Amino acid sequence: MNKIGVHALSWVGGWSEAEARTAIEGSARLGYDLVEIPMLDTSAIDTAMTRRLLQESGIAATVSLGLDPTNDITSSDPDIAQRGETHLKTVVTLANEIGATHVCGVIHSAMKKYMEPATDAAIDQSADILRRICAHAEGLGIEIGLEVVNRYESNVLNTAAQGVALCDSVGAKNVKVHLDTYHMNIEEADSAHAILETGDRLGYFHIGESHRGYLGSGSIDFDGIFRSLARIGYGGPIVFESFSSEVVNPQLSSMLGIWRNLWSDGEDLCRHAFQFTTAHLHAAHKVDGLVKEPGAGGARDG
Ligand code: MN
């Protein structure tokens, strides 16, 4: 069964002990199985404190991040690329100290608007570095998720098909595609179909609305998306992501362009998202017995 999670930035903008407690205890209280902790600044997370709070609340954790122009592993500047490799290795090590199961996000390039397409050499370099990161992570039992995002946040992975191709190129057992409904809504011709095509290469899933606010209050077809997740037998984490100018992380909020206030009560937002997600997932798993495949004796045959 899928672990249902929530991004910490729905609760808090930083990670002091009080903030970590708010996010971890709040998520557990609402029924979530895991909390996703952003780790852009590796010095900002007290791993021992985080691990202790997670254990007290009995929920799991994952870690996410986006690289930036100073540690972009697609950079033609070898010092910048090396800084990225070192940073990713450190994040994986710290994720293990927390007890996290996954490290995911925009780790294949910087998370920024590029002004030119990615070159083949840049993508090959990214794959080479990710292969070494995966080897480090595999020794710690951590899975790596390469997040497919829209064109304004990376020039390497914008579609699920590109995500599968990069995973093939990395060629590690513990590298998977990380999809996000918010980004798919911008780039995919058909999000539900893209999930089917990704199939067992899907390892991590972000659920977010078209405007990144309350689920169901935007334009995304969540029925189709959850049905596809059920059809491929997806068993990985499903993590709710929502951002508002109400809760600000100085690095992440500006990178993601969170200028508008879409909600002010994070607890109500997260309670609703948990109910929405579990209800849609439950319904999607009931569809199989109701739908006949073409040629399997349906009305079309008559
Ligand atoms: Mn995402």
Q: How far is the CA of 179 from the centre of ligand 1 (A)?
A: 7
- The pLDDT score that the predictor gives to residue 251 is 85
Q: What is the pLDDT of residue 250?
A: 83
Q: What is the mean pLDDT of residues 193-216?
A: 97
The domain of 17 spans: 4-284
- Exactly one of 147, 153, 188, 209 is catalytic; name it: 147
> Residue 274 contacts by C-beta under 8 Å, 6 or more apart in sequence?
4, 6, 30, 31, 32, 240
Over range 242-267, report the average pLDDT: 89
Is 205 within the bounds of a domain? yes
> 240 CA to middle of ligand 1, Å?
9
Q: Is residue 297 part of a domain?
A: no
The answer to pTM > 0.85 is yes
Tell whether 289 is covered by a domain: no
Give the model's confidence band at 281: pLDDT under 50 very low, under 70 low, under 90 confident, else very high: very high
User: What is the CA(4)–ligand 1 centre distance, in A?
Assistant: 14
Residues forming beta bridges with residue 180, ordered by sequence position: 206
241 is catalytic: yes
Distance CA 233, CA 88 (A): 30
Closest CA to 105 of 132, 70, 144, 71: 144
The whole-angstrom separation of Cα 88 and Cα 191 is: 29
Query: Binning pLDDT at 50, 70 and 90, where does residue 1 land?
Result: confident
CATH number of domain containing 57: 3.20.20.150
Domain count, the chain: 1
- Could you report the per-residue pLDDT of 26-60, keeping only the tens digit for each? 999 999 999 999 998 899 999 999 999 999 999 99
Instruction: Identify whether 209 is part of a domain.
Output: yes
pLDDT at 289: 74
Tell me the CA distances in angstroms from 150 to 175, 239, 251, one per residue in order.
Answer: 20, 18, 19
What confidence tier does 234 reach under pLDDT thresholds 50, 70, 90? very high
Catalytic residue among 36, 143, 209, 241: 241
Q: Is 147 tagged catalytic? A: yes
C-alpha 39 – ligand 1 centre gap (Å): 14
- Is 56 part of a structural domain of the chain? yes
Q: Give residues with Cβ within 8 angstroms of 189, minimum separation 6.
A: none
Q: Please indicate, yes or no, if residue 299 is contained in any of the structural domains.
A: no
In a domain, 291, yes or no: no
What are the tens digits of pLDDT across the range 143-197?
999 999 999 999 999 999 999 999 999 999 999 999 999 999 999 999 999 999 9
The pLDDT of 184-213, averaged and rounded, is: 98
Residue 292 lies inside a defined structural domain of this protein: no
CA of 289 to the centre of ligand 1 (A): 31
51 alpha carbon – ligand 1 mean position (Å): 23
Q: How far is the CA of 125 from the centre of ligand 1 (A)?
A: 23
- DSSP run (H or E) holding 104: strand 102-110
Distance 285 CA to ligand 1 centre (A): 24
Separation of CA 47 and ligand 1 centre (Å)? 23
